[in-house]
Structure 1
Amino acid sequence: MRSRAGEAVKAWNGTGEAYAVSYASLCLGTGPQLIAALGPGEGRTLLDVGSGTSALLAEFAREGWAVTGCEPEPSMRAVAEREHPDIVCVDGGLPDLPFAQESFDTVTANFVLNHVADPRESARELARVARQRVAATIWVQSPSWFWREVCDRAGLVPAEGERLPPERDFARTTAGFAEMVTDAGWRGVQVSESTWTWRASLASLWASAEGGVAGAGLFYRSLDPAGRSAFRRGFDELCDVLAVGDAVPLEHTAAIAVGEPR
């Protein structure tokens, strides 16, 4: 249950507030590895593409980077402006960024290339606006398995989502990610895996679905009242099995690629 191609943009429409209280903390899981790979900022400039609520940019700012965000979804930018008013967040997104060539020392894209319609074209665009380094992450193991099991318990068939044409797609593995960004022209690529446990509160998990976040939220939005009731029943049943206290520990794995733009 993952958003692909044309679904990638509409899956996030109006979801800024729900994302902020749910998946924003999950996606920060790659922050320590990205910061370690890119080093202290020392005043260097960094652009984060698909910056969402700017939570990751705030982490980079604390490490001395001069940061800028780029985010196409208005509800995400609204949350970013409220929570991080000192961080500039520009309206824009892949594959056509509103910046000149080599505008930033470093460019990052955290869980963005797994959603775009043409990953190689988008990876090339990230490199175009970078002078020194470019870094990106994708999911190897995402929250999708949790929502599939919710659907199984609810007796619902989850939407599979539109798949990319074979010539545009890539294997959602560490090796496949490395091959894709290398194809896109990144040089000296190093890709590593990071696995961590997201201890998601029951309230935040449900907020992500009810608020329409990502593929699961988009699916929930498509259901009629009876389907939504069944989905909630499946959610409650699964949480009864998995929850530790008022949270569900969910293991996730990301691939993290760092390279040079040319």
Structure 2
Amino acid sequence: MKAWEGVGEAYAASYASLCAGSHDEILRRLGTAHGRRVLDAGSGTGALAARLMDAGWSVTGCEPEATMRVVAARNHPQVSMVEGALPALPFEDAAFDAVTANFVLNHVSDPRAAAQEIARVAAPDAVMIATIWIVSPSWFWQRVCDRAGLVVSPTGRLAPEKDFERSSAGFGGMLSEGGWPAVDVAEFSWTWRPTTDELWRSAEGGVASAGAFYRSLETAERERFARAFDRLCEECSDDGRVALDHTAAVAGSRRG
């Protein structure tokens, strides 16, 4: 989680609204709450946890990054948020009737171990749901770098024995290897329409790989990056917003 250190406020002002694009699909797959216990693992700033609570779930959010928890406490004080990170959650076996992990397993150091840990804390007959990116915002930032003449060196890649193919089939196979039974994976797409200010806040604030790359640049390179960003936004924006198409894979499984 080092890449997300200190980015809570910037994430809340930018990518949080992007990641919310999966919330309706997650709620649909979970079914009726009836006050059952759900863990939102990698809860970030607590937006999904709050949606789950509004839907009638008894919610626990779990998030390792302190600045994310600060934002969650301010914006969603009704949500119980604890410190913890996959693949070592601070909960007993079979503690929850459902577990969600929204755009989390694409960031952990050992995805299969994380999947196993989710299964461990899920009760018999519990629903487990996770999402990853198939098409993420990285394509937009690559175009910015190309225009700025900046070469992005691959960083943060997992060792081959830990990684998995970032496709629906690859995601489902990894979860099966992590102990999830009868995994059902589907893709869904939506268009995120952030303002140009929200997009820039993510880069300047160090959010995700693009933000980490921007922060690694020298002053002159940052200026080139910013100019390329402005030019691309001028071409792509409509009334100050940029329409960005994204695709995610959502996987569901039921224990028992």
**In which range does the TM-score fall when normalised by the shorter chain?**
over 0.9
Amino acid at match of 1:17: E
**Correspondence for 2:119:** 127
2:53 alignment partner, SS class: helix
Pairing 1:81–2:73 present: yes
Superposed counterparts of 1:51-130, under 5 Å: 51-130=43-122
**Correspondence for 1:249:** 243
2:17 alignment partner, SS class: helix
Gaps of 5+ in 2: none
Runs of 4+ that moved beyond 6 A: none
Pairing 1:233–2:256 present: no
2:141 alignment partner, SS class: helix
**Correspondence for 1:3:** none
Amino acid at match of 1:188: A
**Correspondence for 1:193:** 187
Q: Aligned-pair distance for 1:133?
A: 1.3
TM-score, structure 2 normalization: 0.97
Q: Aligned-pair distance for 1:261?
A: 3.6
Q: Aligned-pair distance for 1:117?
A: 1.0
1:188 alignment partner, SS class: coil
| Residue number among 128, 133, 152 corresponding to 1:139 in the alignment | 133
In percent, how many aligned pairs have the same letter? Answer: 56
**1:128–1:261: 8 Å Cα contact kept in structure 2?**
no
CA distance in structure 1 between the aligned counterparts of 2:217 and 2:179, rounded to whole angstroms: 42
CA distance in structure 2 between the aligned counterparts of 1:199 and 1:177, rounded to whole angstroms: 27
Q: Aligned-pair distance for 1:160?
A: 1.4
- CA deviations on 1:170-193 (whole Å, 9 max, x unpaired) are 110011111110111111211111
Aligned length: 254
More RCO (CA 8 Å, sep 6+)? 1
Q: Aligned-pair distance for 1:40?
A: 2.0
CA distance in structure 1 between the aligned counterparts of 2:17 and 2:35, rounded to whole angstroms: 26
Q: Aligned-pair distance for 1:159?
A: 2.9
CA distance in structure 2 between the aligned counterparts of 1:15 and 1:162, rounded to whole angstroms: 17
- CA deviations on 1:54-101 (whole Å, 9 max, x unpaired) are 001111111111111000000000000000011011000011000010
Q: Which moved more, 1:65-74 or 1:151-160?
A: 151-160
TM-score, structure 1 normalization: 0.95
Q: Aligned-pair distance for 1:168?
A: 1.3
CA distance in structure 1 between the aligned counterparts of 2:131 and 2:153, rounded to whole angstroms: 24
| Residue number among 5, 14, 21 corresponding to 1:29 in the alignment | 21
